[in-house]
Amino acid sequence: MPLLTIEDVAVELPTPRGNLRAVDRVDLSLEAGRTLGIVGESGCGKTMLSRAVLQLLPNKAKLSGRVMFDGQDLVRLVPESLRRLRARELAVVFQDPMTSLNPVLTIGTQLMETIQEHLELDAPAARKRSIELLAAVGIPAPEQRLAQYPHQCSGGMRQRIAIAIALSCEPKLLIADEPTTALDVTIQAQILDLLAREQRRRHMAMIIITHDLGVVAGRADEVAVMYAGRVVERAPTLALFKRMHMPYTEALLAAIPKLETAPHTPLPAISGRPPDPTRPLKGCSFAPRCPYATGRCREAKPELKSAEISEHLYACFHPIQMTEGVGA
């Protein structure tokens, strides 16, 4: 049984211009010890989906569907059980380590608070564990760091501390929401390695949310591509990169400048921009930007369906790179 199952989850946010459908009927699942990459551009709903899993949606948001975690439906859990579950089994690392740490508390206080609260350790034991954790995430001189404040650390260090706090209670699932977007490329590589190492060691499941296909390519077991609130393609990472069926996925990959391309080569850009999420389209949301779109794409929404292998799903009437005899 998967550790996490997201079933038919939808999130709507009221705005002055009408309801914004941030997440539109998403199904996903994740086994223990595996990594799922969720890829998409800003506004595609990837962060809202992760907030739905964590039950950290804005107050006015309307959530429907089920989020099954380790046999319990998180949507129906009472706040107290949720709170216990969140720190101990479900942890999160946010994009900006400056705003996710409390600026007026020392690093030691923030780490030990979590550990004491959830693992019911006394202060000396919590302190010892904090030092071990900081050492594990690669922070030099961890004992001295405990007395420091977040502003005394660099962005990379702060993200390591945020990861240490997230890992402190040995969670079963770690959600990393753009964990390296605010960091420099050399620090990004270090943080991604750290996450992968800790995940292997702890046999933890992980969701990496990113806009960068490069970040998930080498590090996720499975990738889900989101566009305008929906999962439009989902497949084991190797299968996806070998053969993309959804035109959006292909276009997204093509639009990234590549190191092997000669300078001044025009980039295959995706024309236009994503649709207004308060004005849902009748057909496929990518149709207005898609070179393969036909009348059918503007009339009906393609459902997610399997390609050659059953784990490779795509939502498109005119999939690309299909082997003969399969698909639409």
Partner 1 sequence: MMQLAVRDQPLLNVDNLVVEYGLGNKIVHAVSGVSLHVARGETLGLVGESGCGKSTLGRAVLQLRRAKSGRVLFDGEDLTAMEGEALRKMRRRVQLIFQDPIASLNPRRRIGDIVAEPLIIAGVKDAAERKRRVQEVLSAVGLDPDLVTNRLPHEFSGGQCQRICIARALVLNPEFVVCDEPVSALDVSIRAQILNLLEEMKARFGLTLLFIAHDLAVVKAVSDRVAVMYLGRLCEVAPSEQLFARPVHPYTALLLQAIPVPDPDVRPAESVATGEPPSPIAPPSGCRFRTRCPRADLRCSAEIPELREVASGQFAACHHPLA
Closer to partner 1 by CB, 123 or 292: give it: 292
Q: Could you tell me how many residues make up the chain?
A: 328
Q: What is the distance between the alpha carbons of residues 279 and 220, in angstroms, rounded to a whole number?
A: 33
173-177 vs 90-93, strand pairing mode: parallel
For residue 93, give both structure tokens: 């690392």
Instruction: Name the minimum Å distance from CB 35 to partner 1.
Output: 12
Shortest Å distance, C-beta 219 to partner 1: 7
If we measure between CA atoms, which residue out of 34, 164, 147, 148 comes closest to residue 91? 164
CA distance 298 to 288: 8
- CA pair distance 176, 93, nearest whole angstrom: 5
Binding residues (CB under 8 A) for partner 1: these are: 41-42, 154-157, 184-190, 192-193, 211-215, 217-219, 237-238, 241, 251-253, 255-259, 261-271, 273
Three-state helix/strand/coil letters over 282-298: CCCCCHHHCCCCCHHHH
DSSP helix/strand/coil, 150: helix
Q: Which residues of 59-79 are buried (b: 16+ CB within 10 A; e: fewer)?
A: eebebebebbbeeeebbebee
Min dist. Cβ of residue 78 to partner 1 (A): 38
- Kindly state the smallest distance separating residue 15's Cβ from partner 1, in Å: 14
Rounded CA separation 152/172 (Å) = 31
CA-closest candidate to residue 188, choices 197, 196, 179 = 179
Beta carbon nearer to partner 1, 71 or 257 = 257
CB of 243 to partner 1, least distance (A): 12
What's the CA gap between 162 and 82, in Å, rounded?
Answer: 21
The nearer residue to partner 1, 9 or 101, going by C-beta atoms, is 101
Residue among 93 and 157 whose Cβ is closer to partner 1: 157
Closest distance between partner 1 and the C-beta of residue 1, in Å? 27
Which residue, 91 or 240, has its beta carbon nearer to partner 1?
Answer: 240
Nearest distance from C-beta of residue 51 to partner 1, angstroms: 20
Task: Kindly give the pairing relationship between strand 4-15 and strand 62-69.
Answer: antiparallel
Q: Judged by CB, which is closer to partner 1: 126, or 163?
A: 163
Q: Which is nearer to partner 1, 69 or 286 (CB)?
A: 286
Supply the minimum distance, in Å, between the C-beta of residue 326 and partner 1: 22
Q: Toward partner 1, which CB reaches closer, 116 or 241?
A: 241
Torsion of CA 289, 252, 23, 100, to 10 degrees: -140
